[in-house]
Every structure is written in C-alpha cells, then in structure tokens.
Structure 1
Amino acid sequence: MAQIARCIIYVSAFLLLASYIEARFLKKNFPKTDPSENVRKFLTGAVQAGGLDSIRNIENVRSKLSQFRQSKRKIAATTSDALLAAKAKNIQKLRQQDDEEPVDTIGDINQGLEQFLYDGDMMLNDAQANQLTQQTRQKRQAYTSATARWPKNAPIPYTIDSSINDTTTVKLIHDAIAFWQNMTCLTFKEDNKTSPRIKFYNGAGCSSYVGRVTSLQEQLISIGDRCGYFGIIAHEIAHSLGIFHHQSRTDRDNYIDIVMANVPAGWEDNMDIQPLSNNYGISYEYGSSLHYAEKSWFHIQSMGNRNMPTFADVQLINKYYTCSSACSKTITCKNNGYQNPANCSKCICPGGFGGDDCSKVADPEYGASNCGGNLTATTSWQTLIGQVGESSTVIYPRQAACHWHVNAPEGKKINIKVNYVRGPCSLGCFYGSTEIKLGNFTLTGVRLCCSSDIASNSQFQTVGNLAVISAHSQLAVEKFSLQYMISS
C-alpha cells in the first residue's frame, strides 16, 4: 500500500481517543428487507417507466453484471493478503465492544436488487452495461460520456410521482434539489413534459441512473420508504448528475485497504475501480457522501457520511460541469473556499467555515443555536465543552451542527487533549460525531463517535495555527470535552 495510506491509518490509530458512550438510543432494529418484494417493486416501476424496452435493458444489465461479477470473483479468489486479513480481524474484535446503534444502510435497504444494480444503488443503461467488460484505466470519478452531462443552459426537468405521498419526503427532495442548485451552476424545474427528465418515485429501495440518459423519457430515482434522509436523496441526485461512488476512483488503493476475502458474493463490483469517470484533481475524501462507510472489508475509521455532500463532493460537480465560467467577475475567497457559481458575490466554504468570503466560523446548522464560536489558545490548558442535538430517540432527516475555531498566533501550533465524547455510536458515525480538523480544512476531519475510537494517546497537534472542532447530531445529544493550548 502506498505510503500516504499507511500514514493515514497510523495517524488515525494514534489520534483517536477514549470515547465514553452513555446508553443505547435506538431500542429496536430497522425492519428487515423482503428481497422478493424489492424485486417485484423494482420491475413494476421499470415497466411503468419504459415498458418492454425497459425490461430488455434490465435483462441486458443483469447479464452483463453477472459476467462482470464472475470475472471479479475469480480475481478475488486468487487475491489473498494474510496480514491485511489479520488487521481486519483485529479491528472487528475492537468493534465488538461498541454499543453500536443499528444503521439502515443503502445496502440493507436494497437487498434483492444486487442483480440489477451496479455498485449497490446505480442503474445502468445498455451502453454503460456493455462497457463493464471493456474497461480501460484512467483516474476518474465523474462519468465522461459526451451525453452524460445535463445542459447548463436549461433547467434540469424533474417530477415527483404521486407514489411519494409523504410531505416530509417531498420537502426533503425539494431541499436536496435546492442544495445542488444553490451550490452549482445547474438549475432544476418541475416539468412533466420535457424529456429526458428525472422522476422521483417510491420504488424499491434507493437508486438512480448515472448521468443523463437520453434514451429514456423518464429516468428514475427511487426514494423508497426507508430512503427519506436528506443525505441519501442528495447522494442519488449526485448519481443522476453523473457521479460514481468515491471509492471507485482508480487511485483509491493509495488510500484504503479492501479485504476481498470478506466481500460477500454479489458485491464484487461494489469494490471495483471505475474507469468511466474523471477525478478532476479533487483530493481523496474519506468523508464523502458518495463513499461507502467502513465495513469489514475496509479498515479506516469514519468513511462516508449520510448527512450531506461535502465540500469536495460539491467541488467535483462544479468542475465536472465547468461551473467556474458562470461568473463574469471574480472575488477572493479565504481558507480554500471558491466562488459560488450560483451566487457570484459569495464563496462556497469548507465545512466549519462561513461568511461571504469563508473568513468566519460557520453559523449553527439545521436547528442548532447558541453554540460555536472563536477561541484563542494560550500557553496554558483551557477547556472547551460543547454539544448539539436534543434528548430524543427520533432520527432527524438532517444533522444539526455547531462549529468552533481554536486559534493561535501565526507560526504556532495547537495541542489538543480530548477528555470524552458522548453520543450515539454508529457505522460511519451516521447519527453524529465530534469532528476535529487539524490541517487540510477542505476535507473531512477525524470523526469520533464510538468506544473503539480508543488509543493510548488522545493528543492531537495541528498542522498550522488553527483547529476546527465540529459537533454533529442527527439522533440524541452529541457532547464532547477537550483541552487546548499552544504547543511549546
């Protein structure tokens, strides 16, 4: 494995802290998926959308996926790394002590649909399916087909089917569309006549086509009964705009390890490197909303998120659609922010930063209030206790968040000692976390939410003179206590 990946794994192990988790917040597991019902609902929706042509496409995709997976299974059978497998076992053993909350993942929700969906939740058209066996290696994540992009000079037409009759889900769809419209040069319009158009419907699980599919009048985005979260809906819209999963990048082996022996049958393509897309120079983002969460076949903590697209996710869409040309006059953005193509007088800021030019602490988000702010480190230890969320067993559609900046004089670094983190423990910290950014503020920081985030050393040190601390909560209260001082 490349040195950068070894370094990141080491830093994660070195810096994670003792996390005191209070009690289990969700008393029941999520309902089990009926795979046969998923298949029935999926095929019914496909017939309604495209008739026999849709069925022919599905059969071609299923055949190509089966061939592709057989070839991947043979490769996996000859790939064995005893040391990596041992590391994965140790991590699984460490996880067993976690009082982990149940998480309804897209993989759980989409059971039974593996035969039809690529990489867990992506529907393919015939051309994409045929290319599975004709792959060439390039550094890509966004689909490069000439017709995959939606035109920038006209709104992207979409419609919400009457099968989605829950007002909360309808609002979340509008919110997710507004997010992409407010952060990119793309616009959207409800329109049930122009084609091709996106159709949101209550289908089997959570899924979407990749990019614009000109052969269809309506290309479906399935928002099933258990997909009603802002992060999931924004994730599926990103696929429809032409974006593959983050861990499909051809450079991913420099950043993560995959234990192929632990990958279940039918999931081989989920671990595949995707050659039909472009990374556009975006740094590898572990916390991307398009990255899988850590499971037994990965071993880096805090990958993926179900909260919202990250700064890097948005930047990828803007580069893919060459949105930098949207503004006739340029403005200066701080802390690696960049001009917002949807509002040329303001900047798009990395997580934790706010203000028109990204020079301030971000305001509290999504219902949070009276929290966050600027702190100044001195040569003596000071304590910060922060929290966000409310005492409730309700899983909210979005995460509330509060942000703190810890500052030191230019040329100085900051030491941080974490006393505790309290809140729900979950796969990928899906329900909330305490996040600490030490240097590259454009990427997700170290996220902490489980008791397995324990190491003998709980001390951090910043790269420069700024640390960004964020607390996120989608369930119950996320609370932390830490100390900070100027490094001597």
Structure 2
Amino acid sequence: MMRSLLALCFLVLAVAVVSAEDEEMSMPGRQIDELQLSDAEREALDLQLMRARNNPELNPDLYQGDIMLTDEQRKALEERKVMNDSSYWWPKAADGYVNVNYRFAAPSINQTMVRRAISSWETNTCIRFHEITSADGKPHLIFQDNNSGCNSNIGRIYFWNGQPVNLAPGCLTLLGIPVHEIGHAMGFNHEQSRSDRDDYVIVMFGNILTSMASNFDKRGTINFGVPYDYSSVMHYDSYAFTSNGNETLIAKNPYGQLFMGQRDGFSFMDKRIANLQYNCTAVYLRNCGATTDPCQNYGYYGPNCKCECPPGTSGTNCEILIKPYLDALVSTKSNNSRTITTEGVVTSPGYPAPIASVDEYIQIITAPACKKVRLTFTAFGLISRASASDNSCYFQQLIVRRSDILASQPYCGTEILSGQVFESVGNRMVLHFISRLNWVRPGYSATITFVQDQTSPNCTSTTSASTSTTTSTTTTRTTTTSTTTKPTTATPTTTKPTTTTPTTTTTSKPTTTTTKSTERTTTKPTTTTTKPTTTTTKPTTTTTKPTTTITIRTTTTTTKPTTTTIKPTTTKPIKVNNGRK
C-alpha cells in the first residue's frame, strides 16, 4: 500500500513538472499586454509596433514611399530619362558654403528633433541652415505635419510658400528620420536606387506589394566613386513594402543585412558623399590654409583641419587599412556576429539563460568545399508572433537562410521543433537573430555538422558496380615490376602451344574499378605472347615468360574497359580494369 502511495505521489509530481514545462514553453503565446512592463516600456513597445505595422516613411501614394515629385521629375521617370540631378542641388555662396533657409509651419511640430537633425548636417558638411519666421518668396524648407507620414521633395524646388518637409509625430522618434528627409531635400536619392545596387542587394519582388514594385526601380545617380553603403541613412529597411512579412531586400554580403534601414543618423559614407556633392573639401582646405587633400581609403578632409577616417582605417591620413568598411561596422553592432567554420553547437547568447538584452547579429556557418551545413535544433523558444503587428515575429525572431542570398521566413515562439533539420544550399548557411525585447525566453540551441554535398556538379561522385559518372581525364602512369617466381602449375586442362589473336575492343558502359595488380602466368611448356592491347592509354607491349609476372597499375579514371579474348584456350577472358573505383 505504501509503495502504491509513493508511486502515485511521484506520478503526480511528474505530471506537475511536465505541466509547468508545457506552460513555460507556451508562454511565448501570451499577448504583449500580459507582460509586466513599466509605462515607459509599454509606450516604447507600442511605438515599435506602430512602426512595424505602418512605417511612416512608406506612403503608398508617394514615389518610393517618401518622395514628392514635381511634374518635370515625374515625366522624366515615366520616360525613363536620367535627370541631371545636379540641377536640383542648392547653390553655393561666394565663400563656398551652402545656405538653406527654413521655417516651421506650426509650433506643434517637435522642433527639438528637427533642430538636432539640422545640427547634424551643419556639423558634418558645409551646409548652413538659417531659420526664418515667415514665407519670403524665396526657396526655403518648411517643416510641417500634415499627417501624410515622412516625406520630402528631391533637391531644391521653388515654392513661394516654402518647400514642404512633412514629419508626422512618428517621424520624429529617431534622429535618422529627419536626417533622411532633409537628405532628400538636399538632393539625395535612396541608396538602393543606385544604378549599381544589383551588385549588392537582391530585390525579392515576390515579397513586395504588387502596386509598390515600382518603388524599387533603379535610377541614374551620381555616386562620386563612393562605394555602396548598406548602413546609409538613405537606405530602405529590409522589409520595405512587404506583402507577406518576409524580407524584400537581401544583402549579397550577409553582414549588410544588419544595417539596412538604420535611422540612428549619418553613416560615414553619407558624410563623405555629402561633402563631395557640395565640394565642401575646398572650403575646409581654404579655411585651414591647406592646398591638397591627403586623405586615403575613402577618408576626407574635414572642418577640423584633419582627415576624417572611415571605420577600419587608421593613421593621420587614413593610410592604414585594418579591415574592410563593412567588417569594421559589424563589430560595433554586436559581439555575437561571427563566422563559424567548425562543427559543434551554436546557441543564442547565454543559452539556456533568458535572452538578457536587445540584440541583432549575423552568424555565417561555412563548411569545407564539397560539404554542406546541416543544422539540427535541440531546443527553440522565443517570444511568439504579435497579433498587434500583423502576426509577425516582431519582438524576437531567427531567420535561417539556407544560402547567402536565399530568403527565408522568420521563426519565433516554438515554431522550430526539437530535432528539426535545416540543410544549406551550397556550403554556407546564415543565421540572422533579432531580439527587440529582453524577456524570459531561453532562446535556441542547435548542432552543426558538415555532410557531403551530393548536389554540386563539381563534387558529385556517384558509383555503382557498372557505372562511373567521372568524366575527367587524367594522365595514365604504367608501372612494370618484374619478379622471379617458381613455375606454377595450372589446373588440369588440355593446352597446346598457341599464338593469341589480336585483341578485340568492344563498346560498353564505363565501369568504376579499384586499382589492383593482375598476375599472369603460363603453364609449362606453353609460351604466350600478348600483342599490344588497344586502350585509351598509351599502348604497352608485354611478353610474358613462364617465370616472369608483369604487374600493371593504372590510375586513369576515363579508360574504357576492354575485353581480350585468347583463343583457343578454355581459360576465361582477361579483363583489364582501367579506372578508380
């Protein structure tokens, strides 16, 4: 009786533990409203959800979501003409500076954030902004909120009442948004519209709203030799105009995915191209009493009379290149981005402890040549899809990209099962992890193994008893070894001295054979003379005497087998195998 009670207690305890574990794993399904958050945290989350659901920079009624066009610009686009963009740049004054007047349409707009954006432009370029209080009939910017999102014209456009820069409340939460819209007004296009963008990103048109596909058109742009910049404040984010919650832009360099759409402010290359566009270097050189720009590796001479050097370089003139620009940026984004080249276990940071901080990283798993990556998950638990953001994996997600440029849906909650396997296409797999909220979710753990790639045409080696798929040609080397042995006695047969007829070569399917030595002997007193055999290798003539064994080794993989018939003896035909099994 006592044993039965103990067994029952253990059973109840086990059920309770399992139930607790099930409840823990189902916790990601709880709605965000149930989280224990402060008012400030809840407000921040509401704002993030609003931007995820309705990005104010993506107005479907405007060109590329946030660009207002004049009739001339629209006509040029319709006729597929490359506009002379420099005609829309703001004019330089006699001292080399560029002067731009501006005013606010109403005091209700967040002037503090707008002034911060203006200050960023003035600090990093030779453009100077001057506030006016009313329309003066001259070109100027007017910052306003007309509830149309975040948008601006491209370049300097004359409106008697001012050139509008629309900034709705959601547009003034990040410094980079007003910096971006002012950039349009200064003549900047979107980075992904560059004429060379196809070398750097893939546009996933299958994931884009059909009516918005034209927003991803390329334009003739003046780039001043500045390389494509994933981190530009003028770049779309990777989900722009998505129709299904999946990415619309894929970076050909996987690390570039980390930076597309950043709105923290200017990137280094943004500052460089702005200074080149308005020839600010000439102003700085004159002010500093210098005559030439000594800066290297995309550095530029700045207002502080010294070279402004890009990430990944050092030295007075940026002459020391430490690492490529993008690689240097990666280390500033997250300590968890890395390349993995060995088998083992990969986990979210601190697993199985809860994810402790907001983070985003890229991990590139690279297998040896002719191998592919097999990723087997042993655990997976993130915050589930949020109904408030169109049921997307907004707060936490893991994207498993089976190749560098193959799009994949985000996974969250418990959508990846224990034991679920992903295999790469080619020898690389990319893991892209995003956590916009640090909350009690354990993360993930998976095992990396490298397996033979049977799909690559350069790695396939399919063999069978009678077929070889090898088509390459190698040089045959023939090694002849002579040894003296005692005469051997054959099994009882009736033999007469005979001379073999020439060998007959028949056509057959190639066979894959292992390299082996073939021993030929004759019985007393028979003497056999073998004439040269016709093969794809260099003909070899071998005369066999009773006490001599000839060993032929071949390493070719393309020699077709030949069948040699020796008459009139009753022995089986000799098959010479030329190939590697």
**Structure 1 length normalisation: TM-score?**
0.50
Q: Looking at CA atoms only, which structure, 1 or 2, has the larger radius of gyration?
A: 2
**Structure 2 length normalisation: TM-score?**
0.43
Higher relative helix content: 1
